[in-house]
Amino acid sequence: MFSKNSQTYLALQKFKKNTWGVFSFFYVIFCILVALFAYVISPDNSKNANQMALSIHSKPPGFKVDGFYKKSLTEESTLWFLSGKTKVNQFTPVQHSEVKNDTLYYNDYAVEQTDFDKHVALKDLKSKDEKYISSKTFTLGTDKYGRDLLSRMIIGIRISLSIGFVAVFISLVIGIALGAIAGYFGGKIDQAIMWLINVTWSIPTLLLVIAITLVLGKGFWQVFIAVGLTMWIEVARVVRGQFISIKNEQYVTAAKTLGIPDRSIMMKHILPNAIAPVIVISAANFAAAILIESGLSFLGIGAQPPIPSWGAMIKNHYSYIIVGKAYLAIIPGLGIMSLVMAFMLIGNALRDAFDVKS
């Protein structure tokens, strides 16, 4: 596919020799696959993994409880694997239960009384081999609302990866366009674009994101756009520098002499030779976007409940650290740390691979 003497081929060979870079690359691929099939592999495949059972809130990893599933009365859409099920078999944890005639009598979990205070018709329950009570294990425990923490973590990967892809895409489109125009044409155009870059860069990133979010409103896509609009500056500066150094090369001068339009020269002759450092910056920006989104969710202006965001999960449970249930905040924290570290290691590996001096 690539010539063995091409820079891209040599960079790929150097990247393959970087153990941590390759490991991080496959880890990111694994996370992407998990995100794509999140509702298929998630124990709780309801929309946003939002099935609550307050009687089993804040339980530790490996918690097991008996209960029954109540049938959904309506048919589910065939595309549930994309956005989750809206009609689910609701799980109800029980402490004691007994079947009499066509009715299941039971007590809610943690209710120790011997007299049954609730009942449900058997025809409304999901059964397997005529067994209406089944055991359910929560691998990572439950959050403060009694939701499956593993399912929330799996669905939450979608938020982190989505914010990364959208933010990086927006930053590349704006940054490459402005940086290329400034570097190629120079003069007053360059001065105007550099003034815009310097003004934007002087504003703290988090403050700028908060301001944009407040203008656009709280929501899923608003955060994506806000983060993307703050990450184009470094891309623009790097692309500008690359265009300034490359536009004086002989092949560019020859292209101008032949009357090739400026747009073609910029896109076909200069940009391909300036893209290597942009790829490295994109990996770092991906990690930064995940951190910014987590911070915004922690502040309450990121993805809004019940959407499972790792940052919001830390916000909801950081106070549980002092009551001996630190895992409720540590688990999503480890998720953020591992994904950010993976992209940073990929960025470092790409930097070394594209370093012609080495």
Q: For residue range 225-251, what is the model confidence (pLDDT) as tens digits?
A: 888 888 899 999 999 999 998 888 888
pLDDT exceeds cutoff 80 at 144 = yes
Dump the DSSP string for 151-188: HHHHHHHHHHHHHHHHHHHHHHHHHHHHHHHHHHH-HH
Measured distance CA(312)–CA(293) in Å, rounded: 10
pLDDT exceeds cutoff 70 at 56 = yes
129 band by pLDDT with thresholds 50, 70 and 90: low
Q: Can you list the positions of beta strands (E) in 82-231?
A: 90-100, 103-108, 118-121, 125-126, 134-138
pLDDT exceeds cutoff 80 at 356 = no
SS3 state at 257: helix
| pLDDT for position 218 | 72
Q: What does the pLDDT look like over 162-175, one tens digit per residue? A: 888 988 999 999 99
SS3 state at 121: strand
H or E element that contains 67: strand 63-70
Measured distance CA(186)–CA(240) in Å, rounded: 9
Measured distance CA(110)–CA(130) in Å, rounded: 25
Residues 24-41, mean pLDDT to the nearest whole number: 94
Total residue count of the chain as it appears in this document: 358
State residue 87 phi and psi, 5-degree precision. -120, 100
The more confidently predicted of residues 205 and 305 is 305
SS3 of the chain: helix, strand, coil, percent, to 5: 60, 10, 25
| pLDDT for position 117 | 85
Say which amino acid occupies 357.
K
Q: What does the pLDDT look like over 290-334, one tens digit per residue? A: 888 888 888 887 778 888 989 889 988 988 888 889 999 999 999
43 band by pLDDT with thresholds 50, 70 and 90: very high
pTM beyond 0.75: the answer is: yes
58 band by pLDDT with thresholds 50, 70 and 90: very high
6 band by pLDDT with thresholds 50, 70 and 90: low
| pLDDT for position 300 | 80
The rounded Cα 166 to chain-centroid distance in angstroms is 10
